Amino acid sequence: MRKNILLAMGMTAALMLTACSKQRTDHSSANEQAAEASAAIHSSEGARECVTEMYEQYFRQASDTATIDEEATPMSRYLTQDLSALLDSCIARQNATGDLYLDYDFWINAQDCGQLELKETKVTKYADSTAVVTVDFTNFGQPAVATVEVRYDAAQDTWLVDDFINGEGGSLKNSLEQYMK
């Protein structure tokens, strides 16, 4: 009888070890899947996909209203903290002084927009945590291009716009910094 009890306890212990081992494997598998998903986002293709999503959202919003409603779906969620803070400072200064800090829409590098249609996004430069993405689209049926510099934000596991480059190679960040001087 004692031998049967010890045998039963041993089998129970073996089953518990097997279950724990399987559970660890399941957790490892989930951790590995999360790491693979993060690695896919933290790639040039991930950067391109994030910029595509940003512009699709922007174009949807622009077609729904005459002006972009930052209260409804803030496009600022796609910006780095640095760029967002700089824009906020410029808006505050503009409100205080009445001096216009920008006279164009930096998302599309134009003053007016209509019939926006996204054509293609492509990564033109890529490094570990930065990329330059060109966005080809039409505005009022005419071909147009926007260029954005994006930075990978590990805390949010996504790409965020750090700067907009205009057609002559000028930087939005530099323009805003000049405005604030």
Q: Is the sign of the CA dihedral 136, 137, 143, 149 positive or negative?
A: negative
How many Cα atoms within 13 Å fall on the side-chain side of residue 82?
13
For residue 145, give the H/E element and its range.
Answer: strand 142-153
What is the reported pTM? Answer: 0.73
More confident residue, 33 or 148: 148
The domain segmentation of the chain, as residue ranges, is 42-180
**SS percent in the chain: helix, strand, coil, step 5:** 50, 25, 25
Q: pLDDT of 13-25, one tens digit each?
A: 333 333 333 433 4
**pLDDT at residue 30 in the model:** 59
Between the CA of residue 45 and those of 39, 132, 165, what are the distances in Å? 10, 12, 20
**pLDDT at residue 18 in the model:** 34
Closest CA to 128 of 145, 110, 151: 151
What is the CATH class of 42-180?
alpha beta
**Confidence check: pLDDT of 7 > 60:** no
